[in-house]
């Protein structure tokens, strides 16, 4: 986009004014950046005839680094440190790629225990998930403590003590409330509590972390982080034990690469956010790349899976034995079916026509 201001006049351009007003590197500008750059990465991978994860895996370290903006993070990760991490990741890379192709990347399910589900629905969905081989489950909490205790006991009894349980509060609590609430849910042995408070409250997360880690409960957050700087500070403050990237919140693959590398330096496992609506299709590429080329570990690592709206994508995720199987089609798995796009176009698509007609009635 061409800037509209006059150079040399001392007047800021319209572009710079807009960038400062609704950004920078956050909000609508950053979301738009992610959308545009995700499309560019999709085209690049298709041009090379590779799925995105393979495009990244096959890049040499210097080429990967050329895609990253290190501004504002060199106090914790320099370009040379990132290069050393990627160089170390070359060792055993072929073996790890083979491991992914054979077994896939471990996933967990969020589909069984949304707030508002009846006990019967929860039991039915947990039973089906167990039959399908799921061993990691996440339950939503935070609306009512006694209800949470009852639901968590029900789920823990169903899945047994050996399977992994996580909890997600979706930013419900103040800091003291989060500590008190989770202390009362500790008996159910959750691996983590996700987004216990405002996603912008770095020191709040650090305080919650300090209080809950002795109880064996980690802090997971990241799906609402504006940019790499927030992740940098969360890592510096020891405010999280599980880092959750999002393919559409950060500035596309480029910024996610910097966060994956920072997480590796701090030895914090990355467990991506992927709440359906196409996010699973996207982030699977990043976490498979992370294992093959950066982290080289599956310890305490898993990627979220929600069985929601995959039918609208031309290349939906493939889950086998509760694991993401690496995509084989070229691109970033973002392409939607033409029929689905037409049905949802505003205001003349079939879906919108029905909604608008219902409002008029």
Q: How many of the other CB atoms lie within 10 Å of CB of 317? A: 21
Cβ-in-10-Å burial (0-12, 13-18, 19+) of 67 comes to: middle
Confidence (pTM): 0.93
Q: Going by DSSP bridges, is the β-strand pair 136-140/319-320 parallel, antiparallel, or unpaired?
A: unpaired
**Which pLDDT value is given to residue 361?**
79
* Inter-residue contact 155 to 122 (CB < 8 Å): yes
Which domains does the chain carry?
Answer: 90-340 (3.20.20.120)
30, 54, 140, 226: which is the annotated catalytic residue?
Answer: 140
pLDDT tens per residue, range 228-263: 999 999 999 999 999 999 999 999 999 999 999 999
**Which pLDDT value is given to residue 12?**
62
* Inter-residue contact 301 to 295 (CB < 8 Å): yes
Can you list the residues of the chain whose pLDDT is less than 70?
1-12, 14-20
pLDDT tens per residue, range 262-284: 999 999 999 999 987 899 999 99
**Which pLDDT value is given to residue 22?**
77
226 is catalytic: no
**Which pLDDT value is given to residue 2?**
38
d(C-alpha 221, C-alpha 243), whole Å: 6
**Which pLDDT value is given to residue 17?**
66
Total residue count of the chain as it appears in this document: 361
d(C-alpha 110, C-alpha 134), whole Å: 11
30, 273, 285, 310: which is the annotated catalytic residue?
Answer: 273
Axis crossing angle, helix 119-131 with helix 145-159, rounded to the nearest 10? 30
* Inter-residue contact 137 to 335 (CB < 8 Å): no
**Which pLDDT value is given to residue 18?**
65
273 is catalytic: yes
């Amino acid at each position: 986009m061409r800037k509209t201001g006059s150079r040399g006049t001392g007047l800021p351009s319209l572009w710079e004014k807009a960038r400062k007003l609704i950004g920078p590197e956050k909000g609508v500008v950053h979301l738009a950046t992610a959308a545009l750059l995700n499309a560019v990465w999709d085209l690049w991978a298709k041009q090379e005839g590779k799925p995105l994860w393979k495009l990244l895996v096959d890049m040499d370290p210097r080429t990967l680094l050329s895609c990253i903006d290190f501004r504002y993070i060199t106090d914790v990760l320099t370009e040379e440190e990132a290069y050393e991490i990627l160089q170390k990741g070359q060792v055993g890379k072929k073996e790890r790629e083979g491991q992914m192709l054979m077994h896939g990347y471990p996933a967990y399910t969020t589909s069984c225990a949304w707030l508002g589900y009846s006990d019967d629905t929860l039991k039915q969905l947990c039973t089906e998930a167990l039959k399908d081989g799921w061993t990691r489950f996440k339950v939503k909490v935070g609306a009512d403590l006694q209800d949470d205790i009852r639901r968590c006991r029900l789920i823990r009894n169903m899945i047994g003590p050996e399977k992994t349980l996580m909890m997600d509060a979706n930013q419900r609590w103040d800091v003291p409330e989060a500590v008190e609430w989770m202390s009362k849910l500790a008996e159910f042995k959750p691996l983590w509590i996700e987004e216990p408070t405002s996603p912008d409250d770095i020191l709040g997360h650090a305080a919650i972390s300090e209080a809950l880690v002795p109880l064996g409960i980690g802090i997971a957050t990241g799906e609402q982080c504006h940019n790499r700087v927030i992740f940098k500070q969360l890592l510096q403050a020891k405010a999280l034990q599980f880092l959750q990237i999002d393919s559409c919140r950060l500035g596309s693959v480029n910024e996610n690469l910097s966060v994956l590398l920072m997480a590796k330096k701090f030895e914090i496992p990355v467990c991506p956010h992927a709440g359906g609506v196409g996010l699973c299709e996207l982030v699977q590429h990043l976490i498979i790349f992370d294992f093959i080329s950066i982290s080289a570990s599956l310890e305490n690592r898993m990627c979220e899976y929600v069985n929601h709206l995959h039918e609208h994508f031309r290349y939906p995720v493939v889950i086998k034995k509760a694991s993401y199987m690496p995509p084989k089609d070229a691109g970033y798995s973002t392409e939607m079916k033409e029929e689905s796009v037409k049905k949802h176009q505003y205001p003349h698509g079939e879906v919108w026509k029905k909604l608008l007609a219902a409002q008029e009635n």
